[in-house]
Structure 1
């Protein structure tokens, strides 16, 4: 039934493979062995999936490796269908409402001591085109940051791209309209924490 829905048995097997192994890459002959399909069929479907953005590719050791694109727009629903451990969809995402911060995100971020500013964007905010999902500003303990990001990644079911920088560096880069900062702030985003009202002053 699902083969007919997605048009190809090989494609379905590939989706099962990639969605069950986010963050892991495979080369063609390895994939062929794992899903037990002909190499020509595998190559054809990999090309199709690359074209629509479901997977990405990278070369290493004279081999081309393929990996699921966790930033693909429909990654979450596809993973819910094909992964053995589907995402928890019982909690609504805050990304759909501009300026609304999902309470679970805020709870995780608030536990980071010395945090002065936190901005959500990218895959966490609907309509955002930022490559960075979370920007954290302050002199922050790495272990606390890692723990908070792990919570958000578990909620999202995907890797999160985050950036951390000291407050003085952030304020300077904001004042000179640094490309990295403006790329985050000029698209849709949600300010989770702004203890110094630095972004409010810029409005």
Structure 2
């Protein structure tokens, strides 16, 4: 979807990286390595996005750290477009809302750091989860968004045991309740 609006693949990758999970940040060489592209191509796009104030740039030591500018008037719109282009909005509405008593849901792995790899790792915490409905809706949503969805369902007790593990990695919270 984004490719029909934005012709630069590098710019799309940067928007995905910074607007899928706005808490993520990065610097030039890290991004070039991550995307497998030249620093020059990345630098040009970072400069354009920074000049437009879509990204913030903060100098830290010898590096300039880039992050989504959450104060920008178009932040919510860009964030929503990125979420919709990947289908995360459908994951949230189709799967989470139809499962039962979900207290907490988040995405971990590549999508939590803004990489569109084709496999969404969804963690759902709750009781009385309808597993047959989960499987039906997961398959339907996978077809709809053209990505695989791996769902890990945890009880409150299981989540509390693993909470520290999840805290050490980036996550993208979709639903936050009393977990």
- What interval of TM-score do these two structures reach, taking the shorter chain for normalisation? 0.3 to 0.5
TM (normalized to structure 2)? 0.45
Q: Say which structure, 1 or 2, has more relative contact order (CA 8 Å, 6+ apart).
A: 2
Greater share of residues in strand? 2
